[in-house]
Structure 1
Amino acid sequence: MVAVARNADALDDLRTQMSANGGRIVTCAADVSDLAAVERIAVVAIEAFGGFDSWINNAGIGTYGTLDQVPAADHRRVFDVNYFGVLHGSLVAARHLRERGGGAIINIGSILGDRAIVQQGPYCATKHAVQALTDTVRMELEQDATGISVTLVKPAAIDTPFPEHARNFMDQPPRLPQPLYAPEVVADAVLFACAHRKRTLYAGGGGMLSSILSQAAPRLADRIMEAVGTRAQQKPNDRGDPSRRDNLYEPRTDALRGSQDVRVRRSSVMVQVQKVPRPAISIAILAGGAAALAWATRPKWRT
């Protein structure tokens, strides 16, 4: 594995832990908004392992606040990492995988690529852009019959320090709305996509329900978001840490998990359902429909 982050010290700790457990890992400190840095990642992988067959674009940053509160420079920075980072990674990965005759590119999007919310406008915009970019990359690679699969993973709210690391312009500390899922739920979906050709994988059923609602009743979803969206993303009883530093321009050196005192779901039935081959799902649906029809049309015996 090649692990990439801006924080070289954190990468060293990860390498030590994985090596102690028998893992084969090299690290590369890089900012994915820099194309040259992303190209260096591929060189590191080729030198260490002779290449790679799967590439995951995962880096992401964000802000909390209304669009008129977030400075244009910060808005652009979110796009530099969240969108251009994925673009850089996809182009570099595709170039190498074409030569190998196939492989997998997995882009981490978000449920907010389906449904925008208040207070996170720049982040939502980048995730909508990542969805369009992923579809375009997939079509271009399929058009050339490269054998490369391109998957978009859409996590729901995940128990990471995203709220602690985001640049906050609200008057209260931010939080993630429930339900909250463990990072392992996303990792499970990513590993599956490395070995199976899937277009989209939702990581967390709560996020998928939000997506369905926004598509079926967009105005209702808007009204709900306008009514509770800000409150659901704030911790009113937590004054926060005034010295807290975000990771918009520099890496943070703390925390792998979030700090919210709520139940975190360790698994997702939705992820497991999406792993089932489509024929099996179709059979299950048909069987369920047949059973329901049989029950509805059963003879009514008199007593």
Structure 2
Amino acid sequence: MSKVVVVTGAGAGVGRATVAEFARHGYDVALLSRDKGRLDHAAADLKASYGVRGLGIQTDVADADAVEAAASLAERELGPIDVWVNVAMATVFAPVSKLTAQEFERGTKVTYLGQVHGTMAALSRMRTRNRGTIVNVGSALGYRSVPLQSIYCGAKFAVRGFTDALRSEIIHDGLDVHLTTVDLPAVNTPQFDWALNKMGKKAQPVAPIYEPEVAARAIFFAATHRRREVWVGFPTVKAILANRIAPGLIDRYLASAGYKGQLTDEPLAPDAPANLFEPVSGDYGAHGRFDSRSRTTSWEMFTNRHRNAFLAVTGVAILGGISVLIGRKREK
């Protein structure tokens, strides 16, 4: 019997790449997103390309009842949910002074409460079966905020707090349900062309940039291995660790570099699409416009996949170094 995965934000970007990654491994996939046409196209492609079932369910993850209904439909049509992946997100490129309360509310509902709603819908079903995996997709920006994306950063911080609290509850209840987080770096997705942007210039990810398939492989790995969290890309590791050491210095650095790093010199069209409140139509795939600048692999994911061997080699190297030092001391 095939395993079943539900992926939110499945219409484009990391979500679309994640759908393909699970399908490649034989999973039947329920795809949740707001744009029905894009979902239907992606779901049909799964059967043709991978021979698995794809079920597109038009869903706004900000609506808890809609997410619950989608989970019920997925189980009726495909079977018990084995894995639930929360990818859906929304961001706005603008300083706080140019944002409205409605924009904050909407972005937070999608990026934070969307993960809460998905987790609750999945956990209520997995709890009764005492099995399953939930993957929450975080970000380096959930540890180190940047200017111009306060809505997104705040929501990703909230995702981390929610996930950590729930993990302790799952342990307390003795459930065999795995909860994991995958923290992503800058990824080449269409969001930089359709996110609401009030800066007058086109947005861009801060280099180095990774292809969405790198993120998708990390998500699949996290879903099938007992890892508490997975950091993807050295920029993620650097941002998390550096912020613990010198947050004040990073504040000052980002006050200048954080603006120009996220914006190109290209003017933004007055009629540029914005997907915060309504989906942007079209058959958007996983990739954005930055393929020529994007990396297809992540060294950090290699070491995470081969963690035991990596630690063993590192341990041997450290012991070897200590032995050399001891030998030199004895010679003296």
TM-score (norm: length of structure 2): 0.86
Equivalent in the alignment of 1:271: 301
Equivalent in the alignment of 1:247: 275
Shift of 1:283: 2.4
In the alignment, the residues of structure 1 paired with residue 79 and residue 191 of structure 2 have an alpha-carbon distance, to the nearest angstrom, of 34
Conserved in 2, the CA contact under 8 Å of 1:104 and 1:193?
no
Conserved in 1, the CA contact under 8 Å of 2:188 and 2:291?
no
In the alignment, the residues of structure 1 paired with residue 158 and residue 177 of structure 2 have an alpha-carbon distance, to the nearest angstrom, of 21
Does residue 24 in structure 1 map to residue 24 in structure 2? no
Equivalent in the alignment of 1:222: 251
Conserved in 2, the CA contact under 8 Å of 1:42 and 1:51?
no
Structure 1: tracts of 5 or more residues without a match: none
In the alignment, the residues of structure 2 paired with residue 227 and residue 52 of structure 1 have an alpha-carbon distance, to the nearest angstrom, of 46
Provide the alpha-carbon RMSD of the alignment. Answer: 1.6
Conserved in 1, the CA contact under 8 Å of 2:138 and 2:182?
yes
SS at match of 2:127: helix
- Kindly provide the CA deviation profile for residues 135-154 of structure 1, in whole angstroms up to 9, marking residues without a partner as x: 11211111111111111110
Equivalent in the alignment of 1:3: 31
Correspondent of 1:235 among 259, 264, 275 = 264
Equivalent in the alignment of 2:8: none
Shift of 1:206: 1.7
In the alignment, the residues of structure 1 paired with residue 164 and residue 291 of structure 2 have an alpha-carbon distance, to the nearest angstrom, of 37
Shift of 1:291: 2.4
**Matched positions, count:** 298
Correspondent of 1:85 among 114, 137, 142 = 114
In the alignment, the residues of structure 1 paired with residue 48 and residue 79 of structure 2 have an alpha-carbon distance, to the nearest angstrom, of 23
In the alignment, the residues of structure 2 paired with residue 292 and residue 161 of structure 1 have an alpha-carbon distance, to the nearest angstrom, of 47
In the alignment, the residues of structure 2 paired with residue 234 and residue 104 of structure 1 have an alpha-carbon distance, to the nearest angstrom, of 37
Equivalent in the alignment of 2:128: 99
Which shifted more, 19-28 or 91-100?
Answer: 19-28
Conserved in 2, the CA contact under 8 Å of 1:174 and 1:233?
yes
Structure 2: tracts of 5 or more residues without a match: 1-28
Equivalent in the alignment of 2:100: 71
TM-score (norm: length of structure 1): 0.94
Equivalent in the alignment of 1:36: 65
Which shifted more, 136-145 or 52-61?
Answer: 136-145
Shift of 1:261: 6.5
Q: Equivalent pairs: percent with the same residue? A: 30
- Kindly provide the CA deviation profile for residues 141-174 of structure 1, in whole angstroms up to 9, marking residues without a partner as x: 1111111111111000000012212111113221
In the alignment, the residues of structure 2 paired with residue 228 and residue 122 of structure 1 have an alpha-carbon distance, to the nearest angstrom, of 19
Correspondent of 2:43 among 15, 18, 23 = 15
In the alignment, the residues of structure 2 paired with residue 224 and residue 258 of structure 1 have an alpha-carbon distance, to the nearest angstrom, of 27
The 1:51/1:261 distance shift into structure 2, 3 A limit, reads closer
The 1:262/1:50 distance shift into structure 2, 3 A limit, reads closer
Task: Please tell me the residue identity of whatever aligns with 1:250.
Answer: E
In the alignment, the residues of structure 2 paired with residue 45 and residue 210 of structure 1 have an alpha-carbon distance, to the nearest angstrom, of 37
Equivalent in the alignment of 1:172: 201
The 1:170/1:26 distance shift into structure 2, 3 A limit, reads same
In the alignment, the residues of structure 2 paired with residue 32 and residue 261 of structure 1 have an alpha-carbon distance, to the nearest angstrom, of 29
- Kindly provide the CA deviation profile for residues 115-138 of structure 1, in whole angstroms up to 9, marking residues without a partner as x: 000111111000000000111121
Correspondent of 2:213 among 159, 163, 184 = 184
